[in-house]
Copies of this chain bind each other. A is one copy, B any other.
Amino acid sequence: MRIGDLAEKSGLSTDTLRYYEKIGLLPRPLRDGGGRRVYDATILRWIDFLDRLKSTGMGIKDRLRYADLRTKGEASLTERRKLLEAHRGKVAGDIARLTEMLDVLDDKIDRYRRMEAGETVDPAFESCARTEHGAPPSKEAPKHEHRPGARPRADAET
């Protein structure tokens, strides 16, 4: 299989495949007589998994780290597991956040719909509120921290 075929099968562009090889995400393939890359179909499994990691929010650095560990064989099992466990945690958190947002959106969409129908709708009461002013942001920006205790608050963001 040459790079064009792999591109088609994997859904990545040839440029991206070469880029991934350059940074080390993909192993260096064999070359044919004319110096062209020749791939084994098994590479598709790996590309698929990489793609999954990416599409669930793992950045290139961590994917690179995982790829690097993978080349080290059995010795890296524990580290690889830990990396995946960390990612699992992130994914679970993302699911929680997204699920919460689904409610917020449904609420808001519903209110919009009622307003479009001419109904008088009380000021948005959900959704946009996250931090209750009591919790001090504690200086260090708690980046993507999610507060499960967030309560709805009167809201003027229509």
Contacts and interface: CB of A to CB of B under 8 A. Distances in A.
Given A11-B137, A105-B87, A49 B115 contact: no
Given A46-B157, A84-B105, A137 B56 contact: no
Interface string A22-63: 000000000000000000001001101101100110000000
Contact of A80 (B52, B87, B112): B112
Given A94-B98, A112-B77, A112-B84, A128 B11 contact: no
Looking at chain A's contact residues, the main secondary structure is helix
How many copies of the chain does the oligomer comprise? 2
A108 interface: yes
Interface of A: 8-9, 11, 13, 42, 45-46, 48-49, 51-52, 55-56, 70, 74, 77-78, 80-81, 84-85, 87-88, 91-92, 94-95, 97-99, 101-102, 104-106, 108-109, 112-113, 115-116, 127-131, 133, 137, 141-142, 144, 153, 155-158
A99 to B, nearest CB: 6
A44 to B, nearest CB: 8
A142 B77 contact: no
Q: Which of A85, A104, A105, A133 has the most B CB atoms < 10 Å from its CB? A: A105
A102 B95 CA distance: 10
10 contacts: A11-B137, A45-B129, A52-B127, A52-B128, A52-B130, A55-B97, A56-B97, A70-B157, A88-B102, A91-B102
